Amino acid sequence: MSSSYLVTGGAGFIGSHLVEALLAAGARVRVLDNFITGHRRNLREGAELIEGDVAALDTCRRAVDGIDFVLHQAAIPSVPRSVADPLTSHRANVDGTLNLLVAARDAGVTRLIFAGSSSVYGNSATLPKREDMVPNPLSPYALQKLVGERYGQMFHALYGFETVSIRYFNVFGPRQDPGSPYSGVISRFATALLANEPPTIYGDGEQTRDFTYVANVVDGVLKACTAPNAAGQAINVAVGGRISLNALLEGMNRSVGTRLSAVYKDTRTGDVRDSQADITKAREILGYTPTVDLAEGLDRTIAWYRTQS
């Protein structure tokens, strides 16, 4: 692999896994990160670093110079954080994406892969969620992800610039930061159980998610760079199952060897009730198939958090 890749948000959770996979495949990799939600400890040796913000157009222009593929992961990725502070997340998620699209188009980048989100579906009447369903964002974050995705599709239609939106479904795995109230639920549960503290569940715990181990997402994103019919598309990348938070906690208690009950708090505003992906389109267009299921992914993830605690 001799192509060059820009990973925005490459010091973040998903971005750092992409960087690692690209370096292992022999690609040239540049990271753009402002370290607002990313961490220096996630940087991988061998990747070039530009410290800066996608919300600045000149930074984006510098970052895309000489790049073949842009994997745009930089975002402020939290539903409740966007409810609490919609302006800050809009600037990162919408202004940042538009800047990067303009810069990448102008620089002659081959294709840009956008980190889309399952949150754009909102509460759909039926499950699993298919890409041809009408989006129904319930939070600023979900709306911002939809706008970014639509901008990408528009750049394809208007300027012939190739973009693909990969809609992630509750990605988890090593290096996901558990350190904020906005962190992903599996990172929160894992660190609570390992510290022998009761985890928190918002709502009754019967909400469901299609939790996706990060290696599956890396695979889907890298396939999207070269899949022939992917440009202009939004594509779910997930496992295709769903589990309630109560059942998830039970399984994680078993893996960790604890029997901790949750403390139940009010449902978060903007929260989606059920989430499960139809992954037919990913199979057809990307040749994607999930390789790590939930149980295996949880084992690997808990093993990693153990090394951290």
- Which amino acids are annotated catalytic? 141
* Chain centroid, CA 238 distance in Å: 11
How far apart are CB 107 and ligand UD1 at their closest, in Å? 28
How far apart are CB 41 and ligand UD1 at their closest, in Å? 20
Buried b (16+ CB within 10 A) or exposed e, 22-45: bbeeebbbbbbbbeebbeeebbbe
Q: Which two structure tokens, joined as six digits, stand for 202?
A: 């918002």
* Chain centroid, CA 295 distance in Å: 20
> Looking at this protein, which amino acid is placed at residue 258?
T
Enumerate residues 6+ apart whose C-beta is below 8 A from 167: 116, 117, 118, 120, 131, 149, 234, 235, 236, 237, 277
How far apart are CB 170 and ligand UD1 at their closest, in Å? 5
How far apart are CB 132 and ligand UD1 at their closest, in Å? 18
Kind plus residue range of the DSSP H or E element containing 301? helix 294-308
Closer residue to ligand UD1, CB minimum distance, 52 or 122: 122
Closer residue to ligand UD1, CB minimum distance, 177 or 293: 177
Measured from the Cβ of residue 224, the count of other Cβ atoms closer than 10 Å reads 27
Contact residues for ligand UD1, defined by CB under 6 A = 77-79, 117-119, 168, 170, 184-185, 188, 200-202, 207, 209, 245, 268, 271-272, 275
Residues 18/6, Cβ–Cβ less than 8 Å? no
Closer residue to ligand UD1, CB minimum distance, 99 or 144: 144
Closer residue to ligand UD1, CB minimum distance, 221 or 245: 245
How far apart are CB 290 and ligand UD1 at their closest, in Å? 16
Enumerate residues 6+ apart whose C-beta is below 8 A from 226: none
Nearest to 100 by CA among 233, 92, 201: 92
Closer residue to ligand UD1, CB minimum distance, 28 or 290: 290
Enumerate residues 6+ apart whose C-beta is below 8 A from 77: 12, 37, 117, 141
How far apart are CB 154 and ligand UD1 at their closest, in Å? 22
Q: For the chain, report the end-to-end CA distance as a whole number of angstroms.
A: 37
Nearest to 144 by CA among 198, 106, 90: 90
Closer residue to ligand UD1, CB minimum distance, 4 or 117: 117
